[in-house]
Amino acid sequence: MRSRAGRLLPGGVLVLLAALALCAPIYEAAWGIDPNGVDLSQRYGQPSFTHPLGTDELGRDLVARLLRGGRVSLSVGLVAALMATAIGTVIGLLAGYFGGKLDAFLMRLTDSVIALPLLPLLIVLAAVDLTKLGVPAAIAQSEDVSLYRIVIITGLASWTTVARLVRGETLALREREFVLAAIGQGAGSLRVMFVHIFPNALTPIIVAATLSVGNVILFESVLSFLGLGIQPPIASWGNMLTHAQETIWSAPALAIYPGVLILIVVANCNLLGDRLRDSLDPRSAGR
């Protein structure tokens, strides 16, 4: 594990899984499988050539379901993490750069949000009626709304870490002399923030984003467990795992595959984040 390639192996695993998920249509075409094709005569089928991992409770091919579920889980993780990172970065930059009352307010806000028992609040958020918020009914009632909702909710839950991190980084960079030089040369706040501070805070941001991808996927599964996650017929690993709980004794595979996939993805996200931090941190670079 001393090579650079070895360090980024967790990233490789993730890319591989993402590629597999993206290749779902190819697999489906090759095996002649319709991922939503219900076949009641094939319920809880054993692994076979036509269904490499067997079938689920409606006779659908498990591999196809897992791949489709992976597409949803991974993209939810990615998009929500990006959103959280964007929010956190902006808040962190503003707080760290402008300091003073704004900083005190934003950080008090962030600390409060971190200190809150977030899951219960998210449960409330997940149950909020979008039409009461003035969201057009066409969006509020589309089949994919649970997907958007989860992305937004998990995004809202994850920005705090990034915000604290970026703020800390900004505070440090704000005192760095090249930033002072830029200000002294007449650069405006936006220029200083985005040309001089942001690129230098990028590595910890990337690390935080990587870590939050894993957290978001976990969050989605927990919300699914509480019945507030992504709704069928859209498959995600979280709701597959939740639904399979009920038949865990007679069809354990249905619960174990998505569970294990969540575990592998989240663990590798964490590992990747850790290794990125290690390899980007100058203090540990030599070791």
Nearest approach, Cβ of residue 242 and other proteins (Å) = 8
Out of 141, 155, 205, 276, the residue judged to bind other proteins by CB under 8 A: 141
Q: Which residue's CB is nearer to other proteins, number 48 or number 245?
A: 245
Position 41 contacts other proteins (CB under 8 A): yes
Size of the site for other proteins (CB under 8 A): 103
Position 262 contacts other proteins (CB under 8 A): yes
Nearest approach, Cβ of residue 205 and other proteins (Å) = 13
Position 95 contacts other proteins (CB under 8 A): no
Residues in the chain: 287
Residues numbered 111-140 forming contacts with other proteins, rule: CB under 8 A: 112, 114-121, 123-125, 127-129, 132-133
Out of 95, 147, 257, 276, the residue judged to bind other proteins by CB under 8 A: 257
Nearest approach, Cβ of residue 48 and other proteins (Å) = 16
Mapping DSSP onto H, E and C, the string for 85-111 reads HHHHHHHHHHHHHHCHHHHHHHHHHHH
Sequential DSSP letters for the chain: --SHHHHTHHHHHHHHHHHHHHTHHHHHHHHT--TT---GGGTTPPP-SSSTT-B-TTS-BHHHHHHHHHHHHHHHHHHHHHHHHHHHHHHHHHHHHH-HHHHHHHHHHHHHHHHS-HHHHHHHHHH--GGGGT--HHHHTSTTHHHHHHHHHHHHHHHHHHHHHHHHHHHHHHHSHHHHHHHHTT--HHHIIIIIIHHHHHHHHHHHHHHHHHHHHHHHHHHHHTT-SSPTTS--HHHHHHHHGGGTTT-HHHHHHHHHHHHHHHHHHHHHHHHHHHHH-HHHHT-
Position 86 contacts other proteins (CB under 8 A): no
Angular region, 161: left φ>0, alpha ψ -120 to 50, beta rest: alpha
**Is the bond preceding 233 in cis, omega lying within 30 degrees of 0?**
yes
Q: How far apart are CA 279 and CA 92, in angstroms?
A: 23
Position 36 contacts other proteins (CB under 8 A): yes
Position 15 contacts other proteins (CB under 8 A): no
Q: Which residue's CB is nearer to other proteins, number 32 or number 100?
A: 100
Nearest approach, Cβ of residue 140 and other proteins (Å) = 10
Position 104 contacts other proteins (CB under 8 A): yes
Nearest approach, Cβ of residue 178 and other proteins (Å) = 4
Q: Which residue's CB is nearer to other proteins, number 75 or number 200?
A: 200
Position 180 contacts other proteins (CB under 8 A): yes
Residues numbered 209-248 forming contacts with other proteins, rule: CB under 8 A: 214, 218, 221-222, 225-227, 231-233, 238, 241-243, 245-248
Q: Which residue's CB is nearer to other proteins, number 93 or number 241?
A: 241
Out of 20, 31, 148, 200, the residue judged to bind other proteins by CB under 8 A: 200
Nearest approach, Cβ of residue 87 and other proteins (Å) = 18
Residues numbered 151-170 forming contacts with other proteins, rule: CB under 8 A: none
